Chains A and B, each alone.
Chain A
Amino acid sequence: AQTVTQSQPEMSVQEAETVTLSCTYDTSESDYYLFWYKQPPSRQMILVIRQEAYKQQNATENRFSVNFQKAAKSFSLKISDSQLGDAAMYFCAYRSGGGYSGGGADGLTFGKGTHLIIQP
């Protein structure tokens, strides 16, 4: 079974600065996806960024970027120019690839989350 570990229960950063959230995972699969989701107090899980394991290039979405180290099984999220609206719980998640016929797609496996606080 796959596991996802987020070692930082809480992080705090000053507005406009950069912060990096850590995530490591354990898997024996070669085909998979990694995600970062954001959950503000409104409870809705919002997809921040997605990375396909077969892609060496790190994914980027505006101020959000990842550092994907496949050999080290590490998937950290960097938030640049932090804004007050970035304050939320951030969850790292893993999903097997290969579709249903490939035996994958057995749901997302989430880490415990990192509570990100933005100091004004």
Chain B
Amino acid sequence: KAGVTQTPRYLIKTRGQQVTLSCSPISGHRSVSWYQQTPGQGLQFLFEYFSETQRNKGNFPGRFSGRQFSNSRSEMNVSTLELGDSALYLCASSFGPDSPLHFGNGTRLTVT
């Protein structure tokens, strides 16, 4: 069974640009959530989707957005990139809210 797939693995962007990250969940999983990992702030919850609906959102500015498609694949978008957005972005999928999360390998975003 294929795991959670995140693309791309590495990304370099310039301040002010926007970026879209993609996540394909494990087959059968309907919940996808996103996390940001930085050395200073650690792991922080961004948002969670279930059946194409955003169920919860972390404490991030509106520049961070996401969506989920009917096949459960998810994308997250960051607009007007700032240097502080440089981080490892992790996607996780699960069957639902009470099921364990399974993580992908992450996308390493560098903003210059």
Q: Do A and B bind each other?
A: yes
A109: Cβ under 8 A from any B Cβ: yes
List which A39-61 residues lie within 8 A (CB) of chain B: 42-47, 50
Interface of B is mostly: strand
- Pairwise interchain contact A107-B56, C-beta atoms closer than 8 A: yes
Stretch at the interface among A14-22, A68-76, A79-87, A97-105: A97-105
Q: Please report the C-alpha to C-alpha distance between residue A111 and residue B43 in the assembled complex, in whole angstroms.
A: 8
Residues of A within 8 A of B (CB): 33, 35, 37, 42-47, 50, 91, 97-100, 104-113
**B16 contacts the other chain (Cβ, under 8 Å)?**
no
Contacts of B105 in A (CB 8 A): 42-44
- A105's contact among B55, B103, B108, by CB below 8 Å, is which? B55
Give the interface segment out of B20-28, B69-77, B78-86, B89-97.
Answer: B89-97
Q: What is the distance, in angstroms, from B43's C-beta to the closest C-beta of chain A?
A: 4
**Across the interface, do B43 and A99 meet the contact criterion of CB distance under 8 Å?**
no
In the bound complex, what is the Cα–Cα distance between A43 and B58 (angstroms)?
22
Bound-state Cα–Cα, A42 to B6, Å: 14
